């Protein structure tokens, strides 16, 4: 995908390891829209004799899931794959701009706040990114055909998660539990309409 030329805010003043926030301007560049899959990486290993990655500790058969993103690879491993594929690794600046866009997301809880993620959700499914593009996804077609409805559901989730952050700051456990249930309800409403049910294992 094309990331257009322009400025973005890199870093975050609330995190010592990411401070200071500062403006960076980059020329236009291309970056893969999806992660490298197990299938793609194992093809690289088969063609070059490069060692296959160790399975992750949480799932012994992870490598057999061909469409899962490859894990347990080093930077050198990734660079080798990129050379094989006729590509290169993005710079730190390129990766961050592609990951966060031109806005200034708040980095507070884990990598992102719940409210921040909910606000961003409508932008995760641009037109042409669904099953018709050959992408396997749990998203229903309604995400694209009812974009306004999906945006409204995401906005509701954002409102409820913002309230949860406010309630949590007050330290009232019962209020936090009640608001967590409200967040779960908003999340379930969105999933029920816009996401396919997972297949039983």
**Domains, the chain, ordered by start:** 105-201 (1.20.120.10)
Nearest to 193 by CA among 142, 158, 156, 151: 142
End-to-end CA distance of the chain: 34
Q: What pLDDT, on the 0 to 100 scale, is given for residue 93?
A: 93
Q: What pLDDT, on the 0 to 100 scale, is given for residue 106?
A: 44
Q: What pLDDT, on the 0 to 100 scale, is given for residue 38?
A: 93
135 pLDDT more than 70:
no
Distance CA 139, CA 125 (A): 9
Which of the pair, 126 or 145, is modelled with greater confidence?
145
Q: What pLDDT, on the 0 to 100 scale, is given for residue 107?
A: 39
Which of the pair, 27 or 176, is modelled with greater confidence?
27
Distance CA 35, CA 70 (A): 8
162 pLDDT more than 60:
yes
**Residue 117: pLDDT band with limits 50, 70, 90:** confident
The answer to pTM > 0.85 is: no
What number of CA atoms fall less than 13 Å from residue 6's CA on the CB side? 10
Tokens of 179: 């608001």
Residue 140's DSSP bridge partners are none
Q: What pLDDT, on the 0 to 100 scale, is given for residue 109?
A: 42
In the chain, pLDDT over 70 holds for what percent of residues?
83
Backbone angles phi, psi at 26, to 5 degrees: -125, 150
Q: What pLDDT, on the 0 to 100 scale, is given for residue 130?
A: 59
Average pLDDT, integer, range 27-54: 94
Tokens of 107: 């980095």
43 pLDDT more than 80:
yes
136 pLDDT more than 70:
no
Average pLDDT, integer, range 42-59: 92
Instruction: For the chain, give the number of residues.
Output: 201
192 pLDDT more than 70:
yes
Which residue shows structure tokens 């209020």? Answer: 175
**Residue 113: pLDDT band with limits 50, 70, 90:** low
Backbone angles phi, psi at 25, to 5 degrees: -115, 130
Q: DSSP 3-state assignment of 37?
A: strand
């Amino acid at each position: 995908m094309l990331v257009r030329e322009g400025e973005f805010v890199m870093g975050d003043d609330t995190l010592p390891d990411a401070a200071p926030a500062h403006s960076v301007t980059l020329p236009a560049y291309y970056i893969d829209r999806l992660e490298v899959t197990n299938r793609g990486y194992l093809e690289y290993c088969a063609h070059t004799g490069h060692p296959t990655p160790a399975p992750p500790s949480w799932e012994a058969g992870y490598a057999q899931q061909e469409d899962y993103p490859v894990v347990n690879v080093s930077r050198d491993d990734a660079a080798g794959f990129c050379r094989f594929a006729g590509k290169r690794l993005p710079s730190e600046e390129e990766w961050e701009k592609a990951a966060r866009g031109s806005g200034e997301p708040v980095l507070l809880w884990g990598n992102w706040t719940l409210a921040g993620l909910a606000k961003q959700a409508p932008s995760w499914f641009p037109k042409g990114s669904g099953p018709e593009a050959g992408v396997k996804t749990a998203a229903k077609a309604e995400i694209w055909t009812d974009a306004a409805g999906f945006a409204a559901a995401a906005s509701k989730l954002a409102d409820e998660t913002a309230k949860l952050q406010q309630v949590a700051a007050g330290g009232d456990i019962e209020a936090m539990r009640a608001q967590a249930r409200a967040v779960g309800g908003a999340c379930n409403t969105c999933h029920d309409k816009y996401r396919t049910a997972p297949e039983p294992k």
